[in-house]
Structure 1
Amino acid sequence: MFHLDTLATLVAATLTLLLGRKLVHSVSFLKKYTIPEPVAGGLLVALALLVLKKSMGWEVNFDMSLRDPLMLAFFATIGLNANIASLRAGGRVVGIFLIVVVGLLVMQNAIGIGMASLLGLDPLMGLLAGSITLSGGHGTGAAWSKLFIERYGFTNATEVAMACATFGLVLGGLIGGPVARYLVKHSTTPNGIPDDQEVPTAFEKPDVGRMITSLVLIETIALIAICLTVGKIVAQLLAGTAFELPTFVCVLFVGVILSNGLSMMGFYRVFERAVSVLGNVSLSLFLAMALMGLKLWELASLALPMLAILVVQTIFMALYAIFVTWRMMGKNYDAAVLAAGHCGFGLGATPTAIANMQAITERFGPSHMAFLVVPMVGAFFIDIVNALVIKLYLMLPIFCGLTDEAAVFSPPPFTHSSNVPSPASSVLSGLLPVVGNVREYVAPGAELPGSSPDRAVNPPL
């Protein structure tokens, strides 16, 4: 086993990004279907590590201590670039998009349970292959698998959840580009920008009146650092209260308040292009670390029936984005970018959604609305509504027979750890083990608390 320290991991991440850029620009298929560069490079590295492990028994571990700060820095830049007037104008769009997202959550669980029953699997496995791991990601999968182990006797729930979430993370980064490219052809590109012309920034209109200097970078880094510091303090103060929020949501809100407050008071005007550049760097490095650290051999634990469920879920996600998300959001360019983002967090995680949207906007032009709506819905609201949807499904008769009623209606409080973040709201603590901050990426294979009951609903895969 080889272990790379923080600096070596950073070097590996940057090389992974450069590799991904080379791949996307060299392989016509990747460029044509707008596959994000971190996804292309990260998956190739993960595949290489898989070959090393299977052929020679070598395993490479990375020091991921920079991963979460990079993710928080990205959400800070989203907040710093958010304009209050634009947020106010986007209120209706957020509401419509949330309705679209809820529809997907319901259908993902219906497909999972239906396919599980059709293939002779336990319905709990269908739920794990539904919105718990696909729209919820590794964090939600980790939390619910703990409940399934302790209350339902599903001994291999954690392995199934991590494998499903890993599968979703990979596919979420692969289908967003092709779906959006198809939709852009049926939409109006912004400002008449040709399809083959790249836009210098990913999620804001550039401020061509100023140049990015060393002073501007220092000022911007200071703002991001303030957002991270204050956001963490706010999250700690709210912990255990009815207003508890995920750390990254607090960081994002601090960014919004800081940026708009300084502007309204006339003290300082945030340089949006510099913020966008640093945000893109943070997101790219985060995704590179997350994807190159994937333990793809965990997917081997998926039996063929479970793999069939996930393939159907992936196809349905693409069709849902085309026929529901795009149409409901207005059938325009912004709707196409939103559909790409929905593919990202509908199968994987919010950072994957942002990477999908960046790959589109870098080529076809900016979509300010999409980069305001997706982080709000995909990083915060979805955790709450997903909790409610999952809980309603667990009230169905097919699940009530698996355990006593008290176990179904009174899940234990989730044990906090450095890998799986705290609940979004203690008010909802009776609804599920964890509600919020589950979109923060949890590395596959992370050690999770849980007991091993005597009864197993399904034999290990």
Structure 2
Amino acid sequence: MEITLNGYYTLILATLVLLLGRFLVKNIKFLENFNIPEPVAGGLVAAVVVYILNIFWGFSFNFHQGLQTATMLMFFASIGLSADFSKLKAGGTPLLIFTIVVSVFIILQDIVGVAMASALGLDPLLGLVTGSIALTGGHGTAGAWGITLEEQYGVVGATTLGIAVATYGLVAGGVVGGPVARRLIQRLGIEPTPYNQSPSDIEKVTGAQSLYSTKHDEDDILNDKEIFERPDHIRLITASSTIETLALFAGALAFAETMTLVAADTWFELPTFVWALAGGVIIRNVLTIFFNFEMFDRAIDVLGNASLSLFLAMALLSLKLWQLTDLAGPVLVILIVQTVIMIIYVYLVTFKIMGKNYDAAVLSAGHCGFGMGATPTAIANMQAVTDRYLPSYKAFLIVPMVGAFFVDIVNATVLQIFVNLPFM
């Protein structure tokens, strides 16, 4: 029996999934410790329920695709609207270098994914799903590219696989980040230290240079930077700022729709959500650079996070878990290899290029976090390290900016190149 739900009931079910996820995360320590998003926790339970209804009673569900698409586009537009390139000045050269280091890893991650998928007899495009689509990209990118791969390239089960891989990545990124950083710090000869030293003391002990002239608490740094991927962080917004921000979203989505039509069947054809991200970047930086327009980042963050949560809830409700049966073994092999590659890259590249000092070790923990999972995992990794050793103001400045939006821009560009390669 096939059941079709309109937009109202799809939205109601999505919000119920989010409430279930919130309850699970608050009451199951494992989910909280590994920063499993509430939509993922609740959505996976819902997906299992849908799977059982299908296997035993033959029920299948069709949810409102228009609403899911709209929330997906708003999420990517919010990333673009958050990408203020003037913030590059705050991080300086280390921010640029770290962005390059991360960009190279994204390319490596996709090369490994495609090569392993081909070697195991899978569609090379599934290699991208087990590469930067779901690992560096996370659940939002996995859901968006999954839909694109299914609809435009005929890759069956891409969305389901992407969500599963992204969930693995969150756990794996949280598991490996701390031990990797601890190993690197031990090589530097730094012992666990009480959290009470001044910046000059830190520089003397670690050999790292602070980007701040006075002592800051790491939470203050996080709050000041308004990290995008902190959905539970309280942000005060007003009705007027919300309407103003919705107008910016409308502009980004209109740009995406227009460019999708203009670029159709041309060499610069891109998925609509990539155009939404690009539109947000253009609108943000044109308004701030040329017109001194003051963006209300808090409203962008709130609307972006709400859109992501609703999109993930609807995407997970639409999962067809039975499509993963034949993929489980090969995919697990690829993910184990990707995890090993992540660890090796951080040891040999990230740590060394970022200075081979304490800040570089903390940055390495952060890279493991969003290289396999998401920015919240990166922040959790770094907090675990700095709570035991010393603060790292440099890492807490750089990682949120790179992980929250710069990495998504790079990832979208790299993936678009890969899907258009002749052998894909």
TM-superposition CA deviations, 1:359-394 (whole Å, max 9, x none): 554895771121233211222222303543xx4xx5
Partner Cα separation in structure 1 for residue 151 and residue 230 of structure 2: 39
The 1:359–1:131 alpha-carbon spacing in structure 2 relative to 1, beyond 3 Å, is closer
Letter in 1 for 2:69: D
Partner Cα separation in structure 2 for residue 55 and residue 200 of structure 1: 49
Letter in 1 for 2:156: M
- 1:221 pairs with 2:246: yes
- 1:381 pairs with 2:414: yes
- 1:343 pairs with 2:340: no
Q: 4+ residue stretches of structure 1 with deviation over 6 A? A: 187-190, 197-200
Partner Cα separation in structure 2 for residue 383 and residue 23 of structure 1: 36
State the match for 2:111 in structure 1.
106
Partner Cα separation in structure 2 for residue 279 and residue 169 of structure 1: 19
Partner Cα separation in structure 2 for residue 170 and residue 12 of structure 1: 21
* More displaced stretch, 333-342 vs 9-18: 333-342
Secondary structure, in 3 states, of the residue corresponding to 1:130? helix
Deviation at 1:285, TM superposition (A): 0.8
The 1:134–1:262 alpha-carbon spacing in structure 2 relative to 1, beyond 3 Å, is closer
Secondary structure, in 3 states, of the residue corresponding to 1:43? helix
Deviation at 1:7, TM superposition (A): 1.0
Partner Cα separation in structure 1 for residue 229 and residue 160 of structure 2: 30
What residue ranges of structure 1 are gaps of 5+ in the alignment? 117-122, 147-157, 345-355, 395-431, 433-461
- 1:368 pairs with 2:401: yes
The 1:77–1:63 alpha-carbon spacing in structure 2 relative to 1, beyond 3 Å, is same
Query: Contact 1:166/1:299 (CA < 8 Å) preserved in 2?
Result: yes
Which structure is higher in helix share? 2
Partner Cα separation in structure 2 for residue 325 and residue 139 of structure 1: 31
1:251 to 266, 269, 276: 276
Deviation at 1:312, TM superposition (A): 0.8
* Structural mapping, 1:61-72, within 5 Å: 61-72=62-73
TM-superposition CA deviations, 1:208-245 (whole Å, max 9, x none): 9x941111111111111111112322332333444433
Query: Contact 1:203/1:361 (CA < 8 Å) preserved in 2?
Result: no
Secondary structure, in 3 states, of the residue corresponding to 1:2? strand
The 1:250–1:165 alpha-carbon spacing in structure 2 relative to 1, beyond 3 Å, is closer
The 1:361–1:52 alpha-carbon spacing in structure 2 relative to 1, beyond 3 Å, is same
Q: Say how many residue pairs are matched.
A: 350
Secondary structure, in 3 states, of the residue corresponding to 1:315? helix
* Structural mapping, 1:408-419, within 5 Å: none
Secondary structure, in 3 states, of the residue corresponding to 1:282? helix
Secondary structure, in 3 states, of the residue corresponding to 2:156? helix
TM-superposition CA deviations, 1:189-220 (whole Å, max 9, x none): 996548xx9999542899x9x94111111111
- 1:232 pairs with 2:250: no
Partner Cα separation in structure 1 for residue 237 and residue 38 of structure 2: 24
Partner Cα separation in structure 1 for residue 68 and residue 262 of structure 2: 24
Secondary structure, in 3 states, of the residue corresponding to 1:294? coil
Partner Cα separation in structure 2 for residue 311 and residue 33 of structure 1: 19
TM-superposition CA deviations, 1:120-142 (whole Å, max 9, x none): xxx4x364653366556535754
State the match for 1:32 in structure 2.
33
Letter in 2 for 1:383: Q
State the match for 1:96 in structure 2.
101
What residue ranges of structure 2 are gaps of 5+ in the alignment? 134-144, 186-194, 196-209, 211-215, 355-359, 384-395
Letter in 2 for 1:373: F
* More displaced stretch, 24-33 vs 331-340: 331-340
The 1:13–1:103 alpha-carbon spacing in structure 2 relative to 1, beyond 3 Å, is same
- 1:319 pairs with 2:340: yes
Partner Cα separation in structure 1 for residue 15 and residue 378 of structure 2: 22
Partner Cα separation in structure 2 for residue 184 and residue 198 of structure 1: 23
Partner Cα separation in structure 2 for residue 205 and residue 126 of structure 1: 35
Partner Cα separation in structure 2 for residue 215 and residue 282 of structure 1: 19
- 1:138 pairs with 2:146: yes
1:180 to 152, 174, 179: 174
Partner Cα separation in structure 2 for residue 342 and residue 102 of structure 1: 12
Secondary structure, in 3 states, of the residue corresponding to 1:52? helix
Query: Contact 1:20/1:37 (CA < 8 Å) preserved in 2?
Result: yes
The 1:298–1:374 alpha-carbon spacing in structure 2 relative to 1, beyond 3 Å, is same
* More displaced stretch, 71-80 vs 230-239: 230-239
Query: Contact 2:17/2:39 (CA < 8 Å) preserved in 1?
Result: yes
Query: Contact 1:230/1:254 (CA < 8 Å) preserved in 2?
Result: yes
Partner Cα separation in structure 2 for residue 223 and residue 141 of structure 1: 28
- 1:357 pairs with 2:375: yes
Letter in 2 for 1:284: S
The 1:369–1:220 alpha-carbon spacing in structure 2 relative to 1, beyond 3 Å, is same
Partner Cα separation in structure 2 for residue 18 and residue 65 of structure 1: 22
The 1:126–1:75 alpha-carbon spacing in structure 2 relative to 1, beyond 3 Å, is closer
Secondary structure, in 3 states, of the residue corresponding to 2:62? strand
Query: Contact 1:36/1:359 (CA < 8 Å) preserved in 2?
Result: no
Partner Cα separation in structure 2 for residue 129 and residue 205 of structure 1: 29
The 1:48–1:319 alpha-carbon spacing in structure 2 relative to 1, beyond 3 Å, is same
Query: Contact 1:97/1:325 (CA < 8 Å) preserved in 2?
Result: no
The 1:199–1:7 alpha-carbon spacing in structure 2 relative to 1, beyond 3 Å, is farther
Output the aligned Cα RMSD: 3.6
- 1:292 pairs with 2:317: yes
TM-superposition CA deviations, 1:38-86 (whole Å, max 9, x none): 1111101000111122222222321121111111111211121211233
Identity %: 31
State the match for 1:403 in structure 2.
none
Query: Contact 1:6/1:63 (CA < 8 Å) preserved in 2?
Result: yes
Secondary structure, in 3 states, of the residue corresponding to 1:162? coil
State the match for 2:189 in structure 1.
none
Partner Cα separation in structure 2 for residue 74 and residue 362 of structure 1: 23
The 1:253–1:104 alpha-carbon spacing in structure 2 relative to 1, beyond 3 Å, is closer
Letter in 2 for 1:68: T
TM-superposition CA deviations, 1:259-302 (whole Å, max 9, x none): 222223445300111111111111111111111210112223x1
The 1:127–1:79 alpha-carbon spacing in structure 2 relative to 1, beyond 3 Å, is closer
Query: Contact 1:326/1:339 (CA < 8 Å) preserved in 2?
Result: no
User: Normalized against structure 1, the TM-score is what?
Assistant: 0.66
Partner Cα separation in structure 2 for residue 325 and residue 232 of structure 1: 39
Deviation at 1:87, TM superposition (A): 5.2
TM-superposition CA deviations, 1:118-168 (whole Å, max 9, x none): xxxxx4x36465336655653575489x6xxxxxxxxxxx5xx42465234
User: Normalized against structure 2, the TM-score is what?
Assistant: 0.71
